[in-house]
Structure 1
């Protein structure tokens, strides 16, 4: 188990700067997840920590030791990739123990560590099978097991579940969460799936264009986003953003009604999450609209309401709510769950 510290880390590919001075402290045993849109640099940053990409500027410390110039093999890290990269001619046992075998470990040690990893990952019944005889989830568990037997100081995961179907992704999320609890080892995980980030992470690092926009617990990012980008990136359906005016005590929606302000400062944007809006009669609440799309999901129903100049506003309501496309409705905002942002998109402090 190890701490990892990044000080001013930059990564350049020729004249293109992909990572732009990242500072980050990762505590021992912490589960950190990098999220962000495609091209934000999350995988590049992970590979730079692993030593698979050269750090152009800055330093990387593992357990207080500067490893910036060290090759991957000397960093004590284990990486699990999106592709399983298993040897097709080897069975599961040999795939999991191959790294130890090439390092010259005794046969008894290899067998013991493989057996322990197989037990943790529920792979005991598959040790004599070859990869082609396994499901996608089983193959990914073998790839994780191959890393476990090395007893690394930290695990690095680069979108390990993206090749799996939805049901297997849910299953593997449980497996990885359980594995982290049992191993109590530092883990850094890259994903584009915010559900994975919200359910697995101790802290989430939100990246955009090679910089960190915000670092915090899933709850902090959801309830206290620092800016408009984080507010709309975290949460599904995403937060509704509307233009507004404030006078310090109240807010007024453009082409809509207003209410009491809950944050101080001159706000030009109001943010409200879909579940913080309830349906009312026309004339009630902060604005009126016409239901455009109804998506029934069982326990929940997602609505898209056309509110004219305010745009389309999304709601998450109870699945039993009786509403149809074309219905005219009023939208009532929960005053305790409003977010206000200034002209630069920065969140205003709560009053």
Structure 2
């Protein structure tokens, strides 16, 4: 079992409050990702769950037991850090089995658990190597294997892929996803990379300045952001946000053309639309016009940056097969079902 509850948890460093009353229920076997900008409190919250940071107020409950005041060794959790922290003079086999050895486990049991973890992580050919003879991705797998042999109640990952290059990050994302499917153990994962969050998580917890901005599945957060912060943090490239208003049953864009809007929903101050949902056409068509300033060709896709005057520069994602010239006048159409509206307070309307 690996159900974890956070009940109004807070963290203070003297007079500075960094975690501001968080309530969260994590189900057994769930893959939860804490995501947010630097300084939002995601690593601090993870360390509080692991017992590496004291909880100032509130309670942390693991499988129905309050572990708030228990040391890390009593919680049955295992952490994988950004730093591999492997012993350089030990083989992979010895690194992975070290915690069991220090706990006094029998040699046969250690060998069995190390071999099983090596099989899951495809490390069998590397068991007799030392860390200096392996790539960064292999070292990170050894660090994960060291956690697996302990059979923890839950795994806590603190930005484990940030030291790897882009290709290795993709490879390790796949490894971690397979690992979760194989072990079916609760995993809590911290990252600032929303692509990792979208591809790995069962649910994402978006943190903003020590508070939860929104919790939901990747699809929920992408399609139904609760506020402007979540709307622009989730999704790559980020959502376009344009100033707007509403009158006489229609939303209005400065220097553009609006369409029907239900004022009973509230007064919109911002219109959001994702780059891939905008349709480029001839000038004079659609909701606003602009001039192409920059085209970024990426092969399968292109990003077309259109200067729409008082509305600012709008990023449009189109097929890489389309060709658009800098200086070209274009019209931008916003499909009504793809629009997001936010009030002056930034909350979704």
The residue number in structure 2 matching 1:321 is 322
* CA 272–107 in structure 1, closer or farther in 2 if over 3 Å, else same: same
1:2 aligns with 2:2: yes
Matches within 5 A, 1:199-214: 199-214=199-214
The number of equivalent residue pairs is 348
Matches within 5 A, 1:1-351: 1-247=1-247, 249-261=249-261, 264-348=265-349
How far apart in 2 are the matches of 1:47 and 1:262?
45
How far apart in 1 are the matches of 2:310 and 2:346?
20
Partners of 1:61 and 1:68 within 8 A in 2: yes
Partners of 1:247 and 1:266 within 8 A in 2: no
How far apart in 2 are the matches of 1:244 and 1:308?
14
TM normalised by structure 2 equals: 0.98
Over the aligned positions, Cα root-mean-square deviation in angstroms equals 0.9
Per mean C-alpha deviation after superposition, the further-off stretch among 122-131 and 261-270 is: 261-270
The Cα shift of 1:247 comes to 2.9
1:143-194 deviation per Cα after TM superposition (whole angstroms, max 9, x unaligned): 0000000000000000000000000000000000000000000000000111
The Cα shift of 1:215 comes to 0.1
Unaligned runs of 5+ in 1: none
The Cα shift of 1:260 comes to 2.2
1:77-110 deviation per Cα after TM superposition (whole angstroms, max 9, x unaligned): 0000000000000000000000000000000000
Partners of 1:262 and 1:336 within 8 A in 2: no
How far apart in 1 are the matches of 2:327 and 2:17?
49
SS at 1:38's partner residue?
coil
How far apart in 1 are the matches of 2:242 and 2:255?
10
Unaligned runs of 5+ in 2: none
Per mean C-alpha deviation after superposition, the further-off stretch among 154-163 and 264-273 is: 264-273
How far apart in 2 are the matches of 1:173 and 1:164?
11
Partners of 1:82 and 1:159 within 8 A in 2: yes
How far apart in 2 are the matches of 1:229 and 1:271?
11
Partners of 1:258 and 1:286 within 8 A in 2: yes
SS at 2:293's partner residue?
strand
* CA 248–222 in structure 1, closer or farther in 2 if over 3 Å, else same: farther
The Cα shift of 1:248 comes to 6.5
SS at 2:34's partner residue?
strand
Per mean C-alpha deviation after superposition, the further-off stretch among 84-93 and 261-270 is: 261-270
SS at 1:171's partner residue?
helix
1:95-141 deviation per Cα after TM superposition (whole angstroms, max 9, x unaligned): 00000000000000000000000000000000000000000000000
How far apart in 1 are the matches of 2:90 and 2:252?
67
The Cα shift of 1:253 comes to 0.4
Partners of 1:4 and 1:63 within 8 A in 2: yes
1:290-312 deviation per Cα after TM superposition (whole angstroms, max 9, x unaligned): 11111111111111111111001
1:175-218 deviation per Cα after TM superposition (whole angstroms, max 9, x unaligned): 00000000000000000111100000000000010000000000
Partners of 1:97 and 1:114 within 8 A in 2: yes
How far apart in 1 are the matches of 2:280 and 2:260?
19
How far apart in 2 are the matches of 1:347 and 1:128?
55
How far apart in 1 are the matches of 2:256 and 2:150?
61
